[in-house]
Amino acid sequence: MRVLDDTDKHILWELQQNGRLTNQELADRVGLSPSPCLRRVRALEEAGVISGYRAVIDPHAVGMNITAFVRIKMATHTNAAVEAVEEHLRAIPDITEAYVLAGDHDYLLKIVTPSFETYEQFLRDNLRTMPALASIETTFAFGNTKESSPLPLG
């Protein structure tokens, strides 16, 4: 694990706010000249601290109006079952996030879909066919009170 100094944290904060900043804009914001700023960004990328850049899309702008959070419980937890379930989940593009949980459920999934009908079809085609499935519980979000936000790097 790379130890981050205050300048690294400032660079990461700024890039989380706007990943499209030019190197010059970033350097100005963090108080460096362009060359050292670029070297730091490249070092953060090479160390795996910055794992990529992407566009953030408003789901409603592209007709994805339903957000479902799905809790999955497995019937068995053998290594083979866990590997099969996780491979199955990774192969489904409709799942935008998936987490392994401690507690009553084994996985938490986030699914964004155009309608309740498409969610039902997704459930039938993708989740109910999952190996070692014991139960599925779905909660639908009415709205989002806080968008994905930058990591608090302190």
Per-residue pLDDT of 104-144, as tens digits, reads: 999 999 999 999 999 999 999 999 999 899 999 999 999 99
Distance CA 66, CA 133 (A): 24
Domain 59-141, CATH number (from 3.40.228.10, 3.30.70.920, 3.40.640.10, 3.30.420.10) = 3.30.70.920
Measure CA of the first residue to CA of the last residue in the chain; give whole Å: 17
The pLDDT, as a whole number, for residue 147 is 85
Residues of the chain with CATH 1.10.10.10: 6-46
The pLDDT, as a whole number, for residue 131 is 87
pTM for the full model? 0.86
69 near 109, Cβ under 8 Å? yes
